[in-house]
Amino acid sequence: MAVEVNQVAGEPASVSMGFPVTVGWTHAAMAVYSVLRLNTPVNLKMHIEMHSPLLIDFRHHAFSWSTPLEIFPVDAVHTGLETEPTSDAAPPLFELPGQDLDGLLWEMGINSFGGAPAYWLPPDERYRLTRWPNLTQHRHTMQQMQMMAVLGNTFVSTSELAKLTGADESDAQRLINALSLMRILTRTSAAPAAVVVAPTAATKRQSLFGRLRKRLGR
């Protein structure tokens, strides 16, 4: 990927990536995943047509954006992306606390790759949650809650997850993409296949929601 580096004396280098004008969130999700893999302090700024810049401070797991996630622009036009190296001692990119990054990563993951696997997810893998997401940080459907309940209890492939919950496989894949981008999934190719039984209403209520409701105190 071509980059152009412009540095002002006494300030950290700002790197403007060769980011094509794109519609949707796939390229943005790829950029965020690449930065997360660096494990070094980096700030990220995304330029989005008809919206103010989206600022991400990975050190503080926070973002700042004038567009509320409740009206997340699924078909946003991305026109540029900048990364800026920072350090643990540097001031934050914006006034903290900002907004919790998990909410943005959820929306970004759900609305990228068109329901196909994210490029970093190899085939023939099974997934399980490493921790429960904070459900107050993002919008979710009842079916997504069902799928997260399954992922909290066992390793499943995307197709097994879809069959266990009656979801479309593309919807199950969107969820896997989002949870993976949030870095709260573990994956393996060694786990045995899940036993898939056609779900009934009673099964969903008892098996899928029991532990989740207990965790939420409901």
Phi-psi sector, 24: left (phi>0), alpha (psi -120 to 50), beta: left
Say if residues 149 and 61 touch (Cβ distance below 8 Å): no
pTM score of the predicted model:
0.81
**pLDDT in the model for residue 2:** 31
Evaluate the omega torsion of the peptide bond into residue 97 and state whether it is cis, within 30 degrees of 0: yes
**pLDDT in the model for residue 38:** 85
Phi, psi dihedral angles at 168 (to 5 degrees): -65, 145
Alpha-carbon distance of 103 to 97, in angstroms, equals 14
**pLDDT in the model for residue 200:** 56
Say if residues 16 and 66 touch (Cβ distance below 8 Å): no
**pLDDT in the model for residue 192:** 75
**pLDDT in the model for residue 194:** 74
**pLDDT in the model for residue 211:** 55
Q: What string of pLDDT tens digits covers the 218 residues of the chain?
A: 333 333 333 334 455 555 678 999 999 999 999 999 887 889 999 999 999 999 999 999 999 999 999 999 999 999 999 999 999 899 999 999 999 999 999 999 999 999 999 999 998 899 999 999 887 877 889 999 999 999 999 999 999 999 999 999 999 999 999 999 999 999 988 777 776 665 555 555 555 555 555 555 55
Tell me the C-alpha to C-alpha distance, in Å, between residue 164 and each of 23, 158, 173: 33, 10, 14
Domains and CATH numbers, the chain: 3-111 (no CATH), 120-216 (1.10.10)
**pLDDT in the model for residue 214:** 54
**pLDDT in the model for residue 88:** 87
How would DSSP label each residue in the chain? Answer: --EEEE--TTS--EEEE----EESSHHHHHHHHHHHHH-S-EEEEEEETTSPPEEEEGGGTEEE-SS-GGG--TT-EEEEEEEEE--TTSPPSSSSS-EEHHHHHHHHHHTSGGGSPPTTS-SS-EEEESS---TTSS---HHHHHHHHHHTTS-B-HHHHHHHHT--HHHHHHHHHHHHHTT-EEEESSSPPP------HHHIIIIITHHHHHHHT-
Alpha-carbon distance of 112 to 212, in angstroms, equals 27
What's at 13, amino acid-wise?
Answer: A
**pLDDT in the model for residue 5:** 30
Encoded tokens for 71: 């009206």
Encoded tokens for 54: 């989206």
